[in-house]
Structure 1
Amino acid sequence: MLAEFDLIRRYFVSSQEASSASNGVTLGCGDDATLLVPRAGQQLAVSVDTSVVDVHFPSDAPAFAVGHRALAVALSDLAAMGASSRWCLMALTLDQRQFSDEDAAHAWLAEYARGFHTLRQQHATALVGGDVTSGALSIGVTVMGDVPVGEALTRSGAQPGDLIAVTGELGGGAGGLALWQKGERDLANPLLRRYLLPEPRLAAGVALRGLATAAMDISDGLLADLKHLREASQVGAVITLGALPLAETLESLLGREMALKAALSGGDDYELLVTLNADSLAEAQQRLAPLGLTLTVIGHCREAMGVNASDQSDLSGYAGWQHFSGDTP
């Protein structure tokens, strides 16, 4: 295995990109800290996300997918704020026992870096620093972006009467995990791709600025994340189960009841959950159409706290993912 700094230089540092002042980086990788220049009139949005082996991704997941996914789930938080991504930091912890074979270690690192850098470049995000150490395989990614002053989307702006809507489809992440656990390994499968290669909705977040009254991404399950939004906004919600946009082939894979459970509490969808005034719906849908994304109304906000299904179905069994609960993913 290469020494720490040789590994960083080989797989993660592009000196030409990191030193380019055109992307706001005046001092990039290789020093004790990076120096960045935010754009005038913008607020800096910063988020950090940790991915741990056998918690957030399987130990035998393709290295390309591990790299892609680690960055994607962090970028999803910027999308939820309506921010454009600019920079990222990455802390990679490698298990020396897993990578005791040097050739296998380099093959894994090359694919991991390819997955990470491919997505990073798609979203014009410069890698400006980080760390590499030994221990249980995990990846910590800090992302930084900007959003015009006063235009950030937050969780706290929903009002009674606002519509509740989601981008794209739901349940694909949980469906993909179920397929992986059954032995499916073909990444051409759309459900498996939704789980291992999620796409952060950065362009959608930007498009919804000025229209969404509140927003967040769906990582722990629709109802769990809706609870965070409801509590921040101090509103209740009514959900129409029949309106949920289920991922393609999800129902045929799991059956209707389990497909609904995957959509409501499965997590790992990384779509955007938004509230908006009914008068803004058509424009919001028009803005997302060029991105190839749908915006589906799944309910509405109300004054009374709590959440109910419009058909009075029992929602109490749909808790969503919580760390430290004793559950396994």
Structure 2
Amino acid sequence: MNEWDIIERFFHRPPRSPQVILGVGDDAAVMDVPKNHHWVTSVDTLVEGTHFFPHAPPAELGYKSLAISLSDLAAMGAEPDTVLLALTLPEADEAWLQLFSQGFFSLMEEYQLSLIGGNIARGPLNISTIVHGWVPKNQAIRRSTAVAGDSIYITGSLGDAGLALDLMRRGGDVPVALSQRFYRPTPRVLEGLALRGLASAAIDISDGLAADLHKLLQASRLGAVIQVEKLPLSRVLQQHCREAVTQRYYALTAGEDYELCFTVSPDHRKQVEAALAPFSCGFHCIGEVTRSLGLHIRDAQGNPFPITHTGYEHFS
């Protein structure tokens, strides 16, 4: 199979979006921009050996490659619409492509997205996904707009994906609940839409809570205090990690959770709680934004909770 054969067989679907004027099949896609909206876009790359193990399940890779990009749009309060996909493949393995595309399109269909183009080349396995979405003008949720006194919230639970990754590295059995959190994270798109106009700032958690919250605080030129006993932990993580210190260390530093961390004015807390109540993921207040710079992590007695690193860094 050549590149065009692969595209036609595995990736050519009629576009769903009314904004698509020209999709797959030409040199570039052509899009219409909804009136009174801003265009929001993000890109993520998964590299074999860096982000996933060789022989990782292709359907799971297809799903995750799209999910992590959608998570960026969720953090902005944007509604996803279209996708570009770029693959480098060591070979044109039909079985692999069939499973990968199934995983990819399963998430696309969940959010009614349109694949409008991309590229396929020969090389080491790399997957890049570019997502586009829309947000009403001047309503995007940014990292840089937190306010001192805001409450800090987290959707879902933290640490499961990091624990799954450690178990995979050790070659041990990985409970399905954990492997699903690693390979099939849920992008909090609907939650992000619900937070638009209510959250003062937001970021998705890809590199670890401590690392990503620090980025938000730097952008806002503020600090924060968070309470480790308030970190949301799943039952499966608590069952596998008996020591509370280990549980909290995963929650703070492990990454790959793709939950939303967001800040809320005290005036909007009840509105946010009502807006998020319909969603099953849950949400938890873990701390407060402060005027004094730096991220301060405290235990129940107010003592500092030590961590040796804040999260994943590509070039550390």
Fold shared by both chains (TM-score > 0.5): yes
1: distance between equivalents of 2:85 and 2:291? 42
1:47 aligns with 2:42: yes
The alpha carbon displacement at 1:319 in A equals: 1.9
Confirm or deny: 8 A CA contact 1:83 1:205 kept in the other structure.
yes
Quote the RMSD (CA, aligned, Å): 1.4
Alpha-carbon shift at residue 125 of structure 1 (Å): 1.1
The answer for the alignment partner of 1:10 in structure 2 is 9
TM-score normalised by the chain length of structure 2? 0.95
Rounded to whole Å, the distance in 2 between the matches of 1:85 and 1:316 is 36
Query: In structure 1, the residue corresponding to 2:138 is in which secondary structure?
Result: coil
Summarize the alignment of residues 164-313 of structure 1 with structure 2, pairs less than 5 Å apart: 164-183=152-171, 189-255=176-242, 256-310=244-298, 311-313=302-304
Percent identity of equivalent pairs: 39
Q: Which runs of 4+ in 1 moved over 4 A?
A: none
The residue type equivalent to 1:213 in the other structure is: S
1:324 matched to 2:315: yes
**Cα deviation, residue 309, structure 1:** 2.0
Give the deviation of 1:184 after TM superposition.
Answer: 5.5
Measured in 2, the distance between the counterparts of 1:84 and 1:184 equals 39
Aligned to 2:140: 152
Gaps of 5+ in 2: none
The amino acid of 1:38's aligned partner reads V
Q: Which amino acid aligns with 2:147?
A: Q
* Equivalent position SS for 2:98: helix
Taking the aligned partners of 2:172 and 2:185, their CA distance within structure 1 comes to 17
How far the C-alpha of 1:179 sits from its partner, in A, is 3.0
Matched pairs, number: 312
Q: Distance in 2 between matches of 1:70 and 1:118?
A: 12
SS of corresponding position for 2:235 = coil
Hey, what's the Cα distance between the residues in 1 that align with 2:276 and 2:160? 20
Say whether the 8 Å CA contact 2:249–2:307 is kept in structure 1: no
Structure 1 residues not aligned, in runs of 5+: 100-104
Cα displacement (A) at 1:318? 3.1
Q: What is the CA-CA distance between 1:181 and the residue it aligns to?
A: 2.9
In 2: Cα distance, 1:116 partner to 1:220 partner? 22
Q: What's the TM-score once normalised by structure 1's chain length? A: 0.91
SS in 1 for 2:314: coil
Residues 5/78 of structure 1: CA separation in 2 closer, same or farther (3 Å cut): same
> How far 1:298 sits from its partner (Å)?
0.4
Look up the SS of the partner of 1:290 in the other structure: coil
